[in-house]
Amino acid sequence: MSALHAELAWVGGAVRRDVRIDCQGERIASVRPDAAPAAHARRLTGLVVPGLANAHSHAFHRALRARTHQGAGDFWAWREAMYALADALDPERYRRLARAVYAEMAQAGITAVAEFHYVHHDPRGRAYADPNAMGEALVAAAAEAGVRLTLLDGCYLRGGFDEPRLEGPQRRFGDADVDAWAARAEALGERPGLRRGAAIHSVRAVPPQAQETVAAWAQARGLPLHVHVSEQPAENAACHAALGRTPTQVLAEAGALGPRTTAVHATHLTQGDLALLGGTTTAACLCPTTERELADGIGPASDLAAAGSPLCVGSDSHAVIDLLEEARAIELDERLATLARGHHAPEALLAAATTQGHTRLGWDVALEEGALADLIAIDLASPRTAGATAETAVAHAVFAATASDVTDVIVGGRPLVTEGRHRTLDVAGELAAAQAELRDATR
Amino acid sequence: MSALHAELAWVGGAVRRDVRIDCQGERIASVRPDAAPAAHARRLTGLVVPGLANAHSHAFHRALRARTHQGAGDFWAWREAMYALADALDPERYRRLARAVYAEMAQAGITAVAEFHYVHHDPRGRAYADPNAMGEALVAAAAEAGVRLTLLDGCYLRGGFDEPRLEGPQRRFGDADVDAWAARAEALGERPGLRRGAAIHSVRAVPPQAQETVAAWAQARGLPLHVHVSEQPAENAACHAALGRTPTQVLAEAGALGPRTTAVHATHLTQGDLALLGGTTTAACLCPTTERELADGIGPASDLAAAGSPLCVGSDSHAVIDLLEEARAIELDERLATLARGHHAPEALLAAATTQGHTRLGWDVALEEGALADLIAIDLASPRTAGATAETAVAHAVFAATASDVTDVIVGGRPLVTEGRHRTLDVAGELAAAQAELRDATR
């Protein structure tokens, strides 16, 4: 039994003072506001909220940060750079890079991450001795960094609607067919700190019948299913040309939408798409800093929420790892698109970055009895947040704080980050070393 | 004579290694790349660049940060909250708040700030014993915080095109007429660390003939002139209804455009406006985080630059004080508007946040012989920037670093911030105290 004592905590939708949180093993045994601190309690200042849930990650993209801005690089130029990087990965290099990236996430308050994983095989597309060697590298990386991992095994079978095969750098993404994908996905076993899930890379990369198989596989096992949906207009146009439908319609027909499904991006949607996503309570994972980075555009966040799609957020390409920035960007970018303020309450944005994300990753995280004891403290007395009061604590956390203001991270009742520092890993040092190693490998 | 030694510095448009910077008094005596470090030199790691220039500030808005997001508050609701806050200011309270805000800026790497100042008189509109008591409060605040100040004395004469008088909270913004404005502006003398300038609040608040007077006053003295231009569509519509012209056209006819003029925001422009601004080399000060905050929209940054308007940036309402975020947001928000990447090179964005801003504030700051020795070091080995190399240092500074990554700030050759901390002020503590005092005063 361990005890935490929060100066302020976000409990049951409200900010409460002097909150005592008792933990039993990795779960919360009780949450008591207005409590006297236990003598042995770990004191947490600032605002305590559930750990942040990163609902969309491609860990290796971290090595592209600030490296694709020269000249007029469009999305496809960016993708070429990304493919060159993917080509340099092997299980050991990927483990070291991902460990550093997940540790950066931990320091930013992220306690669980959904890795949308599709770099499965060697650069020529041949299976490693363990066909899940790359997935196992990610599992090891997350365990070493101390964050929970939902490993979304990505099905990626073709280059495009008119490209039935995978060529060049895409070869390592694919399995022989969807049954080979399922056999490999099945072989990776769950363990503490790990949840499995499935991913359909996109309607471009997975034919409709294979989408059905992946969706059925996830549904039969009660596992999360994630899919990239309508990130860019070109993707919609190609889908319409090939199948006469929107990506959302195609996924709906494949039985891939539903309460365990998350549509990633969901940027360029029709009214019909919104009704399909909301009507099936498919979640929408917005990745606003990546959508800025890749010039994807501004998605219809309010319309999605109004239609019935829970929102969550992801740092995706890791141009930035700061889920507070992602959360406020939902509101701020919608202001830019509509020239009006006030679409999303700060509390709704915080829920998107925490509890709603965990649900879609398969983790039961909340500041309540019985839930996993994953929580963070956000400094309300930094230069950015100074001026916060209990009444504005959530708004200051969402609109003024940054990842730098996360002082404490607790996972399963145990401290992972204290005073803003990962307790076991030199985050910046590991990030620099892992990227240097990859640069050497691509030269 | 003092010496600095930069591991990497941005000199003459390129990143150079081992740069020795000798200072004489407050100016740079020499800049020598590939130099051996002097024994007594202060070592600066990371990337050294000129100090950041904050070309647009309303210091008191800092107290609104994260306090206007509840419900569907539109721009005008935000403005009501801003007016209530303005009403609570007096010279002493404003000095304390502004000192904290300028110290927050200093810690974020800002070495000079243009304060667009229009809260001149007491709440009923009567002059203080010293009619520039509020301006003097800002001068003292900047001096105590250690940053250079360009005090833009704002002319604000009416409530709107159809409101010839100032009412309620606006009363303290105004002078009896433009001559009274000029007499008061004239009375405030320059001194070390202070430059004077003029501001036309907006075409709404200053009639055309008075605009002419303000512009002529600034021009006769060779001083900067700043003006809010076309921040929102409603402002353009009101101007067109009243005068049959765009705000930019009205300012052009008043002789208010030119190489010492800065148009702040410049968000909603016609092709004709772009030609007028660019043709007169009027600068455009973009404030992207405020334009997100206030739902202003996305301005035509590329078109402005192409037309001939130098770009600079400001933190304006201080929803965020991070000029690196402002600089990258120019590019990122334009990506959202156009669905294309690559509008502004990282070097152009860094120039906007540094040298181009200083020019419009009236300070000669650059990493070159004879310029003021105002410079900062940006950490390239933080969790955000790790992975940077000399080749990508500028891109990492602009696209990956945040205000938290500014480790050292030198103003006039003397250290103001070291290890990320202001050397004399407790920034967060002062911010909290000054805001608490204002909240008490508004209760």
Marked catalytic residue, from B316, B333, B405, B408? B316
- How far is CA B162 from its chain centroid? 30
Give pLDDT, residue A86.
87
Q: How many CA atoms lie within 13 A of A38 on its CB side?
A: 16
Q: Which of B319, B83, B359 is nearest to B197 (CA)?
A: B359
Residue where the block lists tokens 């990554």: B405
**Residues of chain A with pLDDT > 90: what percent?**
92
Interchain CB contact of A428 with B (< 8 Å): yes
Predicted local distance difference test score (pLDDT) of residue A80: 83
Q: Of A104, A296, A382, which has the smallest distance from its Cβ to B428's Cβ?
A: A382
Alpha carbon of residue A274 to chain centroid = 22
Q: Residue B391 pLDDT more than 70? A: yes
Question: In terms of pTM, does the model score above 0.90?
Answer: yes
The Cα A161–Cα A206 span in angstroms is: 9
Which residues of A fall within a CB distance of 8 Å from B232?
Answer: 339
Comparing CB atoms, the residue among A70, A74, A385 nearest residue B345 is: A70
- The whole-number pLDDT of residue B166 equals 95
Cβ-based contacts of A396 with chain B (< 8 Å) = 65-66
Question: Are residues B291 and A336, on separate chains, in Cβ contact within 8 Å?
Answer: yes
For B335, which of A295, A331, A403 is closest by C-beta distance? A295
What's the gap in Å between the CA of B220 and the closest CA on chain A? 39
Q: Are the beta carbons of A381 and A46 closer than 8 angstroms?
A: yes
- The label of the residue with tokens 């006053």 reads B217
B370 Cβ under 8 Å from any chain A Cβ: no
Interface pTM, i.e. ipTM: 0.96
Q: Are the C-beta atoms of residues A244 and A270 closer than 8 Å to each other?
A: no
Secondary structure (DSSP) of A47-104: EEEEPEEEEEE-GGGGGGTTSS-STT--HHHHHHHHHHHHHT--HHHHHHHHHHHHHH
CA-nearest residue of chain B to A397?
B66
**Is the CB of A331 less than 8 angstroms away from the CB of B387?**
no
The pLDDT of residue A194 is above 60: yes
- Name A419's Cβ contacts closer than 8 Å, sequence gap at least 6: A407, A408
Q: Which domains, from first to last, does chain A contain? A: 2-50+373-422 (2.30.40.10), 52-361 (3.20.20.140)
pLDDT above 90 (res B94): yes
A237 touches chain B (CB under 8 A): no
- Please indicate whether, in this complex, the C-beta atoms of B386 and A427 are within 8 angstroms of each other: yes
| Residue A76 near chain B (CB below 8 Å) | no
Task: Kindly list the residues from chain A whose CB atom is less than 8 angstroms away from the CB atom of residue B82.
Answer: none
pLDDT value at A112 more than 60: yes
Whether B344 sits among the annotated catalytic residues: the reply is no
Model pLDDT for residues B158-214, shown as the tens digit of each residue: 999 999 999 998 999 999 999 999 999 999 988 999 999 999 999 999 999 999 999
How do residues B302-315 score in pLDDT, each as one tens digit?
999 999 999 999 99
Query: Could you count the other beta carbons within 10 Å of the beta carbon of residue B391?
Result: 11
Could A387 and B341 be called an inter-chain contact, meaning their C-beta atoms sit closer than 8 Å?
no
> Rounded distance, CA B137 to CA A291, Å?
43
pLDDT in tens, A126-182: 999 999 999 999 999 999 999 999 999 999 999 999 999 999 989 999 999 999 999
Residues of B in contact with A295 (CB under 8 A): 335-336, 338-341
Give long-range contacts, CB 8 A cutoff, 24+ apart: B417-421. Answer: B417/B106, B417/B107, B417/B109, B417/B376, B420/B107, B421/B107
Angle ∠(A134,A135,A137) on CA atoms, nearest 5: 65
Find out whether B357 and B55 touch, Cβ atoms under 8 Å: yes
Q: Classify residue B30 as exposed, middle or buried by CB count within 10 Å of its CB (0-12, 13-18, 19+).
A: middle
Q: What is the rounded average pLDDT for all residues in chain B?
A: 96
Strands of the sheet containing B311-313, edge to edge, are B52-57, B110-117, B148-155, B194-200, B225-229, B261-265, B283-286, B311-313
Which position has the higher pLDDT, A367 or A439? Answer: A367
Among A65, A295, A388, beta carbon nearest to B341: A295
Chosen from A62, A67, A102 to mutate, greatest number of chain B CBs within 10 A: A67
The predicted pLDDT at position A443 comes to: 67
Asked if A331's CB is within 8 angstroms of B383's CB, the reply is: no
pLDDT at B1: 77
Secondary structure (H, E, C), chain B: CEEEEEEEEEECCEEEEEEEEEEECCEEEEEECCCCCCCCCEEEEEEEEECEEEEEECHHHHHHCCCCCCCCCCHHHHHHHHHHHHHCCCHHHHHHHHHHHHHHHHHCCEEEEEEEECCCCCCCCCCCCCCCHHHHHHHHHHHHHCCEEEEEEEECCCCECCECCCCHHHHHHCCCCHHHHHHHHHHCCCECCEEEEEEECCCCCCCHHHHHHHHHHHHHHCCCEEEEECCCHHHHHHHHHHHCCCHHHHHHHCCCCCCCEEEEECCCCCHHHHHHHHHCCCEEEECHHHHHHCCCCCCCHHHHHHHCCCEEECCECCCCCCHHHHHHHHHHHHHHHHCCCCCCCHHHHHHHHCHHHHHHHCCCECCCCCCECCEEEECCCCCCCCCCCHHHHHHHHHHCCCHHHEEEEEECCEEEEECCEECCCCHHHHHHHHHHHHHHHHC
Residue type, B306: A
Q: What is the mean pLDDT of residues A293-309?
A: 97
* B175 contact A CB<8A: no
In terms of Cα–Cα distance, which of A159, A169, A223 is closest to A195?
A223
Q: Is residue B56 flagged as an active site residue?
A: no
Among A323, A314, A329, smallest CA distance to B292 is for A329
CB contact under 8 A, B69 and A331: yes
Q: Is B161 exposed, middle or buried (0-12, 13-18, 19+ CB in 10 A)?
A: middle
- Residue A302, token pair as written in the block: 């309010």
Residue of B nearest to A337 (CA): B297
Q: Is A435 on the interface with B (CB under 8 A)?
A: yes
What is the interface size between A and B, counted as CB pairs within 8 Å?
199
Instruction: Tell me the per-residue pLDDT of B370-384, one tens digit each, with 9 for 90 and over.
Output: 999 999 999 999 999
Q: Is A440 exposed, middle or buried (0-12, 13-18, 19+ CB in 10 A)?
A: exposed
Count of alpha carbons within 13 Å of A361, Cβ hemisphere only?
A: 35
Q: Do A386 and B431 touch (CB under 8 A)?
A: yes
Residues A18-34: tens digit of each pLDDT: 999 999 999 999 999 99
A298 contacts B339? CB cut-off 8 A: no
Contact between chains at B339 and A295 (C-beta distance less than 8 A): yes
Residue numbers in B near A427 (CB within 8 A): 383, 386
pLDDT at B300: 98
B71 or A15, higher pLDDT: A15
Of A77, A338, A435, the CB nearest to B387: A435
Contact A328, A399 (CB under 8 A): yes
Q: What confidence score (pLDDT) does residue A132 get?
A: 98
d(CA A416, CA A404): 15
- Enumerate the residues of chain A whose CB falls inside 8 A of the CB of residue B292: 332-333, 335-336
Active-site residue (options: A273, A296, A316, A333):
A316
Contact criterion met (CB < 8 Å) for B293 and A332: yes
* pLDDT reported for residue A71: 65
At A83, the pLDDT band (50, 70, 90 cuts) reads confident
Q: Which residue has the tokens 């009006």?
A: A340
Nearest CA in chain B to A268: B339
Question: Which chain A positions have a beta carbon within 8 Å of B382's beta carbon?
Answer: 428
Q: Which of A164, A134, A387, A309 is nearest to B432 (CA)?
A: A387
Q: How close, in Å, is residue A75 to chain B by CA atoms?
A: 7
Q: CB contact, 8 Å: A244 with chain B?
A: no
**What does the DSSP 8-state code read for residue A119?**
-
Residue B387 to residue A338, Cβ atoms within 8 A = no
- What's the rounded Cα separation, in Å, for the pair B99 and A26? 46
Choose among A14, A169, A194: nearest CA to A88.
A169
A110 touches chain B (CB under 8 A): no
pLDDT at B75 over 80: no
Predicted confidence band of residue B80 (pLDDT cuts 50, 70, 90)? confident
Catalytic pick among B58, B61, B265, B318 = B265
Task: Pick the residue of A74, A79, A341 with the most B CBs within 10 A to test the interface with B by mutation.
Answer: A341
Contacts of A150 (CB under 8 A, 6+ apart): A112, A113, A114, A115, A194, A195, A196, A197, A224, A361, A362, A363
Within 10 Å of residue A278's Cβ, how many Cβ atoms?
18
CB B409 within 8 A of CB B106: yes
Report CA dihedral (B193, B129, B219, B300) to the nearest 10 degrees: 70
More confident residue, B77 or A355: A355
**Structure-token pair, residue A345:** 């309450």
Contacts of B429 in chain A (CB under 8 A): 381, 386
A17 at interface of B, judged by CB pairs closer than 8 A: no
Q: With an 8 Å Cβ cutoff, are A387 and B435 in contact?
A: yes
Give residue A73's pLDDT band: very low, low, confident or very high (50, 70, 90): low
pLDDT confidence bin for A253, thresholds 50/70/90: very high
Residue B126: partners with Cβ closer than 8 Å, 6 or more residues away:
none
Residue B72 has pLDDT above 60, yes or no: no
Q: Is B66 on the interface with A (CB under 8 A)?
A: yes
Instruction: Name the DSSP letter for residue A120.
Output: -
Work out the percent of chain B whose per-residue pLDDT is above 70: 99
Hey, are the CB atoms on B66 and A319 less than 8 Å from each other?
no
Tell me the chain A residues in contact with residue B341 when contact means C-beta distances shorter than 8 Å. Answer: 69, 72-75, 77-78, 294-295
Is residue A81 over pLDDT 70? yes
- Predicted local confidence at residue B443, as pLDDT: 67
CA distance B69 to chain A (A): 6
Tell me: the pLDDT tens digits for B411-426?
999 999 999 999 999 9
